[in-house]
Structure 1
């Protein structure tokens, strides 16, 4: 008679191994979700901290950056796919678990990481930050996701286009439905001949592309040629529209450019450069001595305006209502050879007399829907009511800018949003009933830039111009 079979020895417990790049990415996502942090602000500090650890290399930083931004951009699509792989609503899933799954989904569906490696690394991350129990759930979901590629999944989870076009595109291109609707409406006004399904899809796809880093040479202090000469030829190219722009290709690092280190140049989207340059080029009647940037933070447009003003012997006042942003403006303007002043002041309660300025720019606070390439988390954070809430402030700032401008001077109203309620509607509302203002056609002041519509105001687009979706209206105060 034989006894019971001997029990096999239990497998020794293995401590999960931390992957530094994935840990940085997870920590950044949690900060975005829990504290409404912006990825472009929180991620650099996390990377600097990680770089102090031995073995954390530049490629780890690049990988962590791709994980964070790629996951945030495609979160809507990944949520739909994850939802198809679990037996409960996403709202019932622990946010920590959902962030791990989203990072894993991006590795499986949005990178070239082999599926087995993506699953294994995600489960290992889950063991570190969630524990062994919930790591088993992550493992099961990841294996389901790994059975199909992204296109196949999207065909399966997106509603048919014929039944709900906006909802279909929202899932396919990872935008909230209301944002899809708003962008489609705006595109229909600005590009009526090109506002069908293909054009909207191209716009939404452009929002999901990682934007190139663009430098600005500040006139009189540096040139685009100098910036390009300071970089290997394969790491830069001339800007498409702005004479001050240099675009960095993959691998280009602005930190190694001497002019950037010396504050003679900076990092600035080409759309923002065009707005500042157009205001500076608009014809004024009479003197041209004193300019105002009424919403100057964080200082990119102010720095370009100050450089252009210095070339003409004009002075710039850069006003910002928030002290910490005013400090950023002062930093951006440091070293400018011309005359300038940075002040902390509320644009709705001006610190200057009416009619003081020859040129005034107000780049007003807005929903930021024009910069979704750079701040992908904004698409999930904003709500339709936010657009309405910005309206009174935007109208008030434009009215204040008009009062600050002397007769014969020029006002520029700009915003990084293509939403009609933040752009043309604001300007038309303020102009209604006034006879002391006239539009300046802004299109000739952006030479060479195509597809600017019928004017006189202009709207830039990521898919047409490769810029943020900046809006600009130029107004002259009649003599």
Structure 2
């Protein structure tokens, strides 16, 4: 296979993301397999697709200057090819002539001779200046410091402000640049060996915090997953810690009933199932979307514990079982601002208008789940977002409803017991024991974890 095949796969991915609302992390592996790319070309396709999508806002600003027109005036299929071309010119070691020629040929195939001439002129203009010169040029078009930072780091302004507020709540506002840089760096592939069912394979480096986490190393992790029957699985270390915070919060009594209320796609569910099996507990799972419920069942296939998976609205599912469960995980739907490294297009799909609807749902899920707790039961509220409205704000609203019936446990102390090495977990400004993980500080997704016990 050739670099041209890798570029074609990257282009198909970027086009599908914009034309069909596809998810790059789900589509790209399928396209790579279908094209039978070599390991090297698969890596190139991934870099081109993810890098282009991740820095789309910056590249669009550069293209608008180079083309002397708004990107809205460029035909979408041409625009996506140009974005990939700009990424090659400004963020990779690919030779400029190869980046320009391959992109122009791609545009010629997709949109014809005239569009190819336009693409050639734009890309050659961009190739004449350095990345630093182009970044300085687009920064001059900004109307505020935050907009300049947005153009430089390829984060929408509203996300920059949300991240700054979340860091300030920990007294660490000066870490913003490090966080934005970490969001734009491809993450390591992190895996989990399900406790009691699999061991970390020899020769693999362990992750610093989760006792069951390890680095996949180079290459495709799928063979490891397949050969283990799913007992070794790809899972961010933050997700592992979120599940373990619930299972290790207090000693488990045999016969406990556990519930994963928003289980899809099932990574945390599998870890909970392994923990339940080891401690004599039972586990049930629930997922609203049937296709995601199917993914949960697949994730559980290798765990020798019967786990019924219901398909229902989590609020109704919890309301139907008052006082029934000893531990409940509420991994609530959220903006996903904590996983921007892994979902490169997410930052451009969400907007501030999405937050109120999500926080309303999050509050309703937490309060419904609390009603399903037995006395002394523990609820873990987890969200892959550091947005304060989705974390501290949700808990403040929920606790106004559940009131004195609840107490918040010290999740920071729980993780200190679980983690293999000390963790940098500054106390939130509100003095609670809530945990906020960070890509730049912990190498994990920005996972938020809170533990609430029913008195």
Find out whether 1:35 has 2:30 as its counterpart: no
Find out whether 1:108 has 2:89 as its counterpart: yes
What's the RMSD between the two structures over aligned residues?
A: 1.9
Find out whether 1:202 has 2:178 as its counterpart: yes
For 1:170, the equivalent position in structure 2 comes to 150
Alignment of structure 1 residues 254-265 onto 2, 5 Å: 254-257=221-224, 261-265=228-232
In structure 1, distance between residues paired with 2:270 and 2:423: 23
In structure 2, distance between residues paired with 1:285 and 1:255: 33
SS of equivalent to 1:349: helix
- When residues 385 and 135 of structure 1 are mapped into structure 2, their CA distance, relative to the original with a 3 A threshold, is same
TM-score (normalised: structure 1): 0.89
Higher-RCO chain (CA-CA 8 Å, sequence separation at least 6): 2
SS of equivalent to 2:80: helix
For 1:182, the equivalent position in structure 2 comes to 162
Q: CA-to-partner distance for each residue in 1:231-267, whole Å, 9 max, x for gaps? A: xx4xx42102101000123x23322326764111211
For 1:282, the equivalent position in structure 2 comes to 249
In structure 2, distance between residues paired with 1:185 and 1:275: 22
Alignment of structure 1 residues 33-182 onto 2, 5 Å: 33-51=18-36, 56-159=37-140, 164-182=144-162
> What are structure 1's unaligned runs of at least 5 residues?
1-16
Deviation (angstroms), 1:291 = 0.6
Instruction: Please say which of residues 452-461 and 205-214 is displaced more in the overlay.
Output: 452-461
Q: CA-to-partner distance for each residue in 1:65-94, whole Å, 9 max, x for gaps? A: 111001011111111111111222121111
Q: CA-to-partner distance for each residue in 1:398-424, whole Å, 9 max, x for gaps? A: 011101101111000000001111111
For 1:324, the equivalent position in structure 2 comes to 291
Find out whether 1:463 has 2:437 as its counterpart: no
Say how many residue pairs are matched.
Answer: 444
For 2:419, the equivalent position in structure 1 comes to none
Deviation (angstroms), 1:48 = 2.1
8 Å contact kept, 2:255–2:282: no
For 1:270, the equivalent position in structure 2 comes to 237
Instruction: Please say which of residues 359-368 and 342-351 is displaced more in the overlay.
Output: 342-351
Deviation (angstroms), 1:209 = 0.6
SS of equivalent to 1:88: coil
SS of equivalent to 2:307: strand
Structure 1's consecutive aligned runs of 4 or more residues displaced over 3 angstroms after TM superposition are 258-261, 284-288
SS of equivalent to 1:420: coil
8 Å contact kept, 1:271–1:467: yes
For 1:241, the equivalent position in structure 2 comes to 209
SS of equivalent to 2:393: helix
In structure 1, distance between residues paired with 2:140 and 2:146: 10
Q: CA-to-partner distance for each residue in 1:371-426, whole Å, 9 max, x for gaps? A: 00000101001111111111221111101110110111100000000111111100
Deviation (angstroms), 1:30 = 0.9
For 1:13, the equivalent position in structure 2 comes to none
In structure 2, distance between residues paired with 1:288 and 1:382: 42
TM-score (normalised: structure 2): 0.94
Deviation (angstroms), 1:160 = 8.5
> What are structure 2's unaligned runs of at least 5 residues?
417-421
- When residues 288 and 408 of structure 1 are mapped into structure 2, their CA distance, relative to the original with a 3 A threshold, is farther
SS of equivalent to 1:468: coil
For 1:12, the equivalent position in structure 2 comes to none
In structure 2, distance between residues paired with 1:173 and 1:115: 23
Instruction: Please say which of residues 312-321 and 345-354 is displaced more in the overlay.
Output: 345-354
Find out whether 1:368 has 2:307 as its counterpart: no
Alignment of structure 1 residues 441-460 onto 2, 5 Å: 441-447=410-416, 448-454=422-428, 455-460=432-437
In structure 1, distance between residues paired with 2:196 and 2:305: 10
For 2:452, the equivalent position in structure 1 comes to 475
In structure 2, distance between residues paired with 1:468 and 1:67: 22
For 1:216, the equivalent position in structure 2 comes to 192
8 Å contact kept, 1:399–1:430: yes
SS of equivalent to 1:215: strand
For 1:353, the equivalent position in structure 2 comes to 321
